[in-house]
Amino acid sequence: MFRRERSIPLRCSAAALCNNLSVLQVPSRNLTHFGVVHGPSAQLLSAAPEGAPLAQRQLHAKEGAGVSPPLITQVHWCVLPFRVLLVLTSHRGIQMYESDGSVMVYWHALDSGDVSPVQAVFARGIASSGHFICVGTWSGRVLVFDIPAKGPNIVLSEELAGHQTSVTDIATEAAQGQDCMADMVTADDSGLLCVWRSGPEFKLMTQIPGFGVPCPSVQLWHGTVAAGYGDGQVRLYEASTGTLHVQISAHARAICALDLAPEVGKLLSAAEDTFVHIWKLSRSPKSGHTEVEHCHAECVPDTQVCGVRFCDPSGSSFAVTGYDLAEILRFSSV
What local confidence, expressed as pLDDT, does residue 66 receive? 57
What local confidence, expressed as pLDDT, does residue 53 receive? 65
How many residues would you count in the chain?
A: 334
Q: Closest by alpha carbon to 181, among 163, 193, 198, 200?
A: 198
What local confidence, expressed as pLDDT, does residue 114 receive? 64
**Domains along the chain with CATH numbers:** 13-111+120-258 (2.130.10.10)
Q: Which residue positions in the chain have pLDDT lower than 50?
A: 177, 179
Strand, helix or coil at 28? helix
pTM score, whole prediction: 0.94
Contact 189, 165 (CB under 8 A): yes
What local confidence, expressed as pLDDT, does residue 174 receive? 77
Q: Over the stretch 72-116, which tens digit does the pLDDT of each residue have?
A: 999 999 999 999 999 999 999 999 999 999 999 999 999 876 666
CB proximity list for 72: less than 8 A, separation 6 or greater = 15, 37, 39, 40, 41, 42, 61, 88, 89, 90
Q: Closest by alpha carbon to 73, among 121, 23, 11?
A: 121
**Strand-pair partners of 37:** 42
What local confidence, expressed as pLDDT, does residue 42 receive? 96
What local confidence, expressed as pLDDT, does residue 1 receive? 85
Strand, helix or coil at 67? coil
Q: Return d(Cα 331, Cα 9) in angstroms, integer.
A: 15
Read out DSSP for 121-180? Answer: --EEEEEEETTEEEEEETTSEEEEEE--SSSS--EEEEEEE--SS-EEEEEE---TT-TT
Contact 176, 182 (CB under 8 A): no
